Every structure is written in C-alpha cells, then in structure tokens.
Copies of this chain bind each other. A is one copy, B any other.
Amino acid sequence: MQPATTHLTRPAFQHSVNRSGELWSSTHELCDLLRICLPQDLRDDHSRYQHVRFKAGQTVHLNNDALSNLFLVNCGFLKSSMTDDLDKELVLSFPMKGDLIGIDSIHRQHHQSQTVALSDCDIILIPYSSLQDLCKKSEQFGHTILQIMSRELVRERYMLGVQRSLSAEAKVGRFLCMMGERYAQLGYSSRRFNLRMSRNEIANYLGVAIETVSRILSVFHRLGVITVNQREIVIIDAGFLSNLVKLPSARDRIPKQAVLKSPIMINQKMPFPIYQQQPEFALS
C-alpha cells in the first residue's frame, strides 16, 4: 500500500524541554487526565511530570526505542503505527487527550510501535520507573494501571472484531461515530469535526483501500447521513452510521442518487461503547 516509513525525524528532546516553558504536572493532574480518581495514598505524593511539546509531523517515539517513558497526551492528535511482516505501515490508533501511549512496550522494554504527532501536541512524560514507584506507593494505583491496560486490550480487541466481521461501509460508519464520540469526550461537538488524519491513514486503520474510504464517504454524503468537505465531517444520522451492516449492492442502487431498490441492513443492537466515558471506571 504505502511505504512503511516516510522520513521520520527524531524528536529534539532536550531542545523541546528547554523551550517548553518548563511545564510540569502533579500526580493529581495525571490522574485527572487519565480519568481516574487520585488514590488516597497518593494524596501527599509530590512527584512532578515533565511536559514536552511536539510539532505536527514530529515523532514521539520510534519502533524499537528502549522503554524509558510512557507518554500521556495532554493535548493534540497523534497516530500510532507499527510495521508489519511485509514492511507495510499499520496504523494502530489515533491517540488524543487522556490517552496513554507506550504500554505495549512494557513487555519487551522496547517500543513495539511508533507514534507521530498529527497536530501540535503537548505530551506528559511518565518515566516507567515513576510508574513503578506509584504502583509501589499505592496499591490502588497499581490496580488502576492494570485496569487501563485491560481496557486497552478490550479496545484493541474491539478493533479486531471490526476488522473481521464488518463490511467496509460499516467500518467507515463506525469510525466516524467513534471519532464523534471521542471529540465529544474532549468537549467538542460529536456532530461536526475535522478529521486530523488523511484518507490514507483512515484506510490503513480500517484495513481497506483508500479508494474504498473515499467512495463510501461519497455514498454516505449522497444518502444524506453525513456531509463531507475535505476533512470536515458533519454527522447527520449517527444511528445510521453506527448500526449500518451493509448497503444494498451497487447494482441495486440507482447511480448518483439516494434512491435504493433494496433495503439497507441495519443492526438493532446497541453498539459497544468502546471509547465512551466509563463512570464505573473511576475508583470510588
């Protein structure tokens, strides 16, 4: 499809740090970002965590980098990807505010993926050693970290399900809804937003060809369930998008019109809220 790596510039760490206005966060702020309650036993923890800024296009970490920090997104939009057996890029996720980057690296103590900034970003560095300290200090925090990892597992598994059993149309529909939900969580509109990634990156993420994504967006537009203008999306019928199973085959569709001869298949079940705020997730 596309080459695995374009030209990746390694982040100028020290540089960024010195210029970054020396912003540091407390453990409390960390927990807030992660959407977990500050455990009792960390009330008097005064650790500080450094912020680093990345410009759009800059690399946060590369595949195979030794694990020294995890990265917590404070603001901005990123893309995590790995390189598969065949040296093709494989987009894994689009981290944004509140997402923890790098937990896949704990296993071998080296990153198994790479992350680049799609927009200017502010990222908090969490040295892995600090994470271990926090786990040692607070039993509850340790539990929470397990939960976060477990959640990541469930999310990735959800994507696995999407890959395996959905039509390309359903994939794109759910992708748009998911993005809407995620923006909503950040306080933006879930109906009108700008995609931060290219069609290519979407296609890769969904495991379909770029032309397929393009075509499907056009069809959705024609059907009146969304509006597409470059990367600006307006979702008109979110229910349609998240429950779509498949559209009538192309031949049953009067070309260039929204008139359909055979019915559109829609799933009745409520979709699994994979990225929604999870109240039970916060520790009481």
Q: Which residues of B contact A87 (CB under 8 A)?
A: 269
Q: Quick check: is A237 within 8 A (CB to CB) of the other chain?
A: no
A260 CA to B109 CA in the complex, in Å?
Answer: 45
Given the complex, which residues of B lie within 8 Å of A36, measured CB to CB? none
B149 engages A146 (CB within 8 Å): yes
Complex formed: what's the CA distance from A281 to B135 in Å?
20
Q: Which residue of B lies closest to A174 (CB)?
A: B85
Does A86 lie within 8 Å of B245, measured CB to CB? yes
The proximity string for A residues 205-226 relative to B, scoring 1 for CB distances below 8 Å and 0 otherwise, is 0010000000000000000000
Cβ of A106 and Cβ of B150 under 8 Å apart? yes
> Which residue of B has the minimal Cβ distance to A143?
B132
Q: Are B160 and A86 in contact (CB under 8 A)?
A: no
Size range of the chain A interface in the assembly: 35 or more
CB pair B153 A108 closer than 8 Å:
no
Task: Give Cα A38–Cα B145 distance, bound, in whole angstroms.
Answer: 22
Q: Which of A85, A87, A152, A156 has the most CB of B within 10 A?
A: A85
Determine chain A's interface SS by DSSP, over half rule.
helix
A129-168 interface bits toward B, Cβ cutoff 8 Å, 1 = contact, 0 = none: 0001001100100110111011111101101110111100
Known: A136-B139, A146-B149. A165 touches B86 (CB 8 A): yes
- Among A253-284, those with CB < 8 Å from B are 267, 269, 271-272, 278, 280-281
Interface residues, chain A, CB within 8 Å of chain B?
A: 1, 82, 84-88, 90, 92, 103-109, 112, 132, 135-136, 139, 142-143, 145-147, 149-154, 156-157, 159-161, 163-166, 207, 245, 267, 269, 271-272, 278, 280-281
Q: List 20 A-B contacts (CB under 8 A).
A: A84-B164, A85-B161, A85-B271, A86-B245, A90-B160, A105-B150, A106-B149, A107-B154, A108-B154, A112-B157, A149-B149, A152-B153, A153-B156, A156-B156, A159-B160, A160-B160, A160-B163, A163-B163, A163-B164, A163-B207
